[in-house]
């Protein structure tokens, strides 16, 4: 919704829990994961701004809640970005500014492991917005499905772009460069990678986080 961050399929405040880091010895089926994705006006948080934020909270493979909102970037959206994402200037005119969205996001990710495909990109924009609004950056543990895919799936797939992996692995959801659909595709990928990781003896959070540095490095894509 353009007017406010909305919670779907669950109460975000209820599932947020406490702010302590997740115990690294937690079995993966008990870990609260928040998969997130952002759309932006460009590639760098120093010059570009957020246009959409989405996140979904999972535990044991079940979706517990969803947060999604368009964001007023307070700058023009370049035509090429509109072509890529479908998000246009008129769509965000009545959307909240990012400062109004951040409190809901902070509560939604509290006490969870944050997951994204090239998660450092999403975190860089979110943390830049948090710092600019006088808040502390997120310090959640993170899992990057891109890093995991590069170690676990190459060279069996042409590349590790989310769209390619969704096609090659026949994931239920396909990315569209809209934040919520990309979140759902990334969640499908995460659960598939966790299943594959069991073949490497990975069953707890610490082992999953360490997996990209343990497996041999392969050609990036």
pLDDT tens by residue, 83-129: 999 999 999 999 999 999 999 999 999 999 999 999 999 999 999 99
Backbone angles phi, psi at 208, to 5 degrees: -70, -45
Q: Provide the β-strand partners of residue 62.
A: 59
Judged against a pLDDT cut of 70, whether residue 18 lies above it is answered with no
Judged against a pLDDT cut of 70, whether residue 79 lies above it is answered with yes
Percentage of the chain with pLDDT > 90? 86
Task: Please give the pLDDT value at position 91.
Answer: 98
Task: Please give the pLDDT value at position 215.
Answer: 80
Nearest to 4 by CA among 57, 72, 81: 72
Judged against a pLDDT cut of 70, whether residue 16 lies above it is answered with no
Residues 173 and 181: their CA atoms lie apart, in Å, by 7
Judged against a pLDDT cut of 50, whether residue 137 lies above it is answered with yes
Q: Spell out the residues 6+ positions from residue 72 whose beta carbon is closer than 8 angstroms to its own.
A: 92, 93, 94, 95, 96, 97, 98
Indicate the domain borders of the chain.
Answer: 6-214
Query: According to CATH, what is the number of the domain 6-214?
Result: 3.30.420.10
Average pLDDT value for residue range 68-76: 98
User: What is the pTM assigned to this prediction?
Assistant: 0.90
Backbone angles phi, psi at 160, to 5 degrees: -110, 25
Average pLDDT value for residue range 49-61: 98
Vertex 161: Cα angle to 155 and 167 (nearest 5) = 80
Task: Please give the pLDDT value at position 8.
Answer: 40
């Amino acid at each position: 919704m353009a007017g406010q961050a909305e919670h779907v399929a669950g109460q975000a405040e209820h599932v947020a829990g406490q702010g302590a880091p997740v115990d690294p010895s937690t079995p993966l089926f008990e870990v609260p994961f928040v998969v997130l994705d952002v759309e932006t006006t460009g590639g760098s948080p120093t010059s570009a701004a957020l246009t959409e934020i989405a996140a979904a909270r999972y535990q044991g493979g079940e979706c517990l809640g969803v947060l999604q909102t368009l964001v007023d970037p307070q700058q023009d959206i370049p035509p090429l970005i509109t072509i890529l994402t479908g998000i246009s200037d008129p769509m965000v005119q009545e959307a909240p500014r990012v400062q109004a969205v951040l409190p809901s996001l902070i509560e939604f990710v509290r006490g969870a492991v944050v997951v994204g495909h090239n998660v450092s990109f999403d975190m860089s924009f979110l943390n830049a917005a948090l710092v600019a609004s006088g808040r502390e950056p997120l310090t959640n543990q993170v899992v990057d499905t891109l890093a995991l895919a590069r170690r676990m799936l190459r060279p069996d797939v042409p590349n590790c772009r989310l769209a390619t992996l969704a096609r090659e692995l026949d994931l239920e959801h396909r990315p569209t460069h809209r934040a919520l659909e990309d979140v759902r595709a990334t969640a499908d990928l995460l659960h598939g990678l966790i299943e594959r990781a069991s073949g490497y003896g990975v069953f707890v959070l610490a082992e999953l986080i360490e997996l990209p540095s343990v497996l041999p490095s392969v050609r990036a894509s």
